[in-house]
Chains A and B, each alone.
Chain A
Amino acid sequence: MMIEALIAVALVGAFVTFVAPNRIAGKLAFAISLIPAGLSLWMFSAFDGSGNALLDGELAFASEFEWIQFGEYSISWLVGLDGISMPLVVLTTILSSLAIVSSWTPIDERESQFYGLVLFIEANLIGVFAALDFFVWFIFWEAVLIPMYLLIGIWGGPRRKYAAIKFFVYTNVASLVMFGAFIALVFGLGDVTTFALPDVTTAMLNGGPDGFLGIGGTTLASLVFVAMFLGFAVKVPIVPFHTWLPDAHVEAPTPASVLLAGVLLKMGTYALLRFNFTMFPTEVIEPFVIPIAAIAVISVIYGAMLALAQTDLKRIVAYSSVSSMGYVILGLIAYTQFGVGGATFQMVSHGLISGLMFMAVGVIYNATHTRMVTDMSGMADRMPVAVGILVAGAFGYMGLPLMSGFFGEFTIFFGAFGAEGLAYSQVFTALAMFGIVIVAGYLLFALQRTVFGPYHLETDYDVDRAPLHDIAPMFVLLGLIILLGVAPELIFEMITDAVDPILETGGEL
């Protein structure tokens, strides 16, 4: 019942915070969020699962009971963790706690509602990574959208309404496509009467669907694969479905950006791994391998080029997230242990690094009230510690060795280079890798303009050192980034353990 406890603490905490006085809401929410963070760390250390959750793996902290019965179909409350979801749950709880602390400075109205919503997001995010029944999972998946919509729409920047609606509608329409496709698949499978993901996976790998509404089984599987891929592609986001992301990030308040880039994007890649690349047999995936690899490379390079053209610090980081997610897609489609394992590692790593970057940009914004590269220079003169962390985070983003980003990227490149199922894998890898040059270009350019050079600020504010509670969460993240860079096996071992069954059953493209 550990997972239920995690979710319950966050949910109850959300309600408690919601009715608490504004004055104490931030501290209260932080105190509450420490409970799931601590619990999940304990779960991480006590983790005893093995194998993949969908492929008869030994689940950790699993629980199951029947929830709803209609006709011959039943919906169960089925949750549990394997080596893929465990690190993501820890990422979620830690990042939520830190995001709450990083809100103390910028959020100064309707605090209790704000922090309540953050805890509500946290509860649902844990649910997304832990749920193994489609309906339960989908409820959490959709429930994440609402608080995020409100965070952007209420506490966001000047164009917050546009950004919030765009975010909500775009990802919701995508979810609808994915939902319809999955239901069609389950009906098409015929003898499956539950929506439990392991059952669906077993049925898919043992013969697949018979057909639905007159569509043949093989065609149905392919159609559903494409529809679900598109549905998740918006969430990731993959080019060309990415345009909601920069708008959402620019308008979102810092902590919302931290969670958005840090965890919400990983929902997309996580779902791609869980559904598209685990459930579907090799024959279904095969025709799409080259297009997906191409789209991954395009996401990397095109995203990086877009980042190069930006002058808003948040847009730079937002577009570079698009680029980084391209690496993840490349790793997934490589279908090797290092490729898929590295992609999963990169989800965690990018969560930490992009979280750090958004926090650092936020701290500078708190002081200067601008994020435009052209509006400032020489910030290192006034905020040496915050800038130092920003520089460290930027190098983390560039994949500096001994920081987690390097391990993620290197394993993806290595896993993709020799991928036997991916034709021209060397070419794809070489092209995608060029992202590491462009990322250095736009981040170093931005650093040169904003934090170095003679001190200058267009806006009329006194810039002083950031308070400790702005700095501390960034130190925690930096510490984790270096820890995972030096000792990646801390999570890579459990990740590969959960990845291996995918490659064995569906694998060898």
Chain B
Amino acid sequence: MTPLGLYEPGGSVLHRAPAGPKLLTVVALAAAVVLLDSPWWLGGALAAVLAGYVVARVPRRRWWPLVRTLVIVSVVVFAVQWWLLGATTAAVVCLRLVTALAAASLFTLTTRVDDVVSTVERVVRPLQRFGVRPEMVGLLVGLTVQAIATLSGIAGEVRAAAKARGADRSPTAFVVPFLVRTLRHADQLGEALAARGTGDR
């Protein structure tokens, strides 16, 4: 749907697995990781996640920045935890952190945004009788991605205008006009949507 995504194309078992169960697995794993206290169990969970990276054949240019971030974060967290709570706790906290972040990133790397959107549409379908409209999910995603592009353009113009007035260091000279134009854009979008009958039943 959008070139903006963090998805990494591939054909592995993990790529082909349905998004819903995959998401539930990641959420369950994240919950388990927070509840687990034993470094051995946490180490096992981390090994399972790393095996997932091997299975999904995530290319080096995608996992390398992740490793770098995780190492930097872990070193900082470990140092602070060691000082505050002792070495064992520090190791447990770091294992939790690395496992949960690696699992969540693996989901994002192997799942298309479109697949998540259609899964959400399917999941909310039984809620139709309570006034939830599944077709709105895709519309909301599309409209917001479109609005991000428009607002990025507006932000650039507003910043250039502030710079031209020599006010490029004043936060109000940028944010206020940007917000005013953002809200105006919202009004225009609202009129356009109303003209197409969106939002009515």
Question: Are A and B co-members of a single complex?
Answer: no
Partner-A contacts on B (CB < 8 A)? none
